[in-house]
Amino acid sequence: MRETLRHQEAFDLYYSMGEKRSCGKVGVKLGFSETSVLKWRKAFNWEKRVEQRDIDTAKKMQAKTDKAVLNTKADYRQMIQDNIKMTRALMATMIDPATKKLKAGIAAKSINDYDKLSATLERLVKLDLGLIGERAELDGVEELRITIVSKKTEPEGGEDV
């Protein structure tokens, strides 16, 4: 027996019924006897085709999921890179370019701010390395990760990182 368009349509209907699929239901819906549909199922390996289509569908879903994860990671990496640039720029305002040391006359509060910026920069770099799969000492980064992720949905005026 040669598969025709009507056989393919019957298979598509059969497949679309999911776990509750039956040859009897396909026959009723398309106007054929259950016996005819049973013969088609056997002749055209519908059970194997159902398995293969399920595998193909799962692969497509996995590819979409992988793409979404990669895009999300790319977005987070861009946010991290932007924060690293901003932190470096702030730190640069506190450094004397000639001596590569803190500018003379910097107040104790500014030194404390510099230390905080330095710690933030270290955590951002570790988080970025973690996103690209590099092994890095990640202690304390989880809290920062939560702050960055939630920052995307916070209204303006939310707490700064």
pLDDT digits (tens, 9 = 90+) for 64-115: 999 998 999 999 999 999 999 998 888 888 888 788 777 777 776 777 888 8
Is the pLDDT at 158 greater than 50? The verdict is no
Q: Is residue 26 part of a domain?
A: yes
Is the pLDDT at 12 greater than 50? The verdict is yes
Task: Show the DSSP H helices in the chain as ranges.
Answer: 5-16, 23-30, 34-43, 46-92, 108-131, 141-151
pLDDT at 137: 56
pLDDT at 96: 81
Q: Is residue 53 part of a domain?
A: no
Q: Is residue 114 part of a domain?
A: yes
pLDDT at 28: 97
Q: Is residue 34 part of a domain?
A: yes
Q: Is residue 50 part of a domain?
A: no
Domain co-membership, 38 together with 74? no
Show the domain range for 82.
64-151
Is the pLDDT at 36 greater than 60? The verdict is yes
pLDDT in tens, 119-156: 898 889 888 888 888 765 555 544 444 333 333 343 44
Total domain count for the chain?
2
Q: Is residue 156 part of a domain?
A: no
8 Å CB contact between 12 and 44: no
Domain co-membership, 80 together with 124? yes
Contact partners, residue 99, CB within 8 Å, separation at least 6: none
Domain co-membership, 37 together with 68? no
**Mind giving me the DSSP string for 93-122?**
TTEETTTTEEPTT--HHHHHHHHHHHHHHH
Domain co-membership, 76 together with 144? yes
pLDDT at 150: 34
- Nearest-CA neighbor of 87 among 144, 141, 139, 161? 161
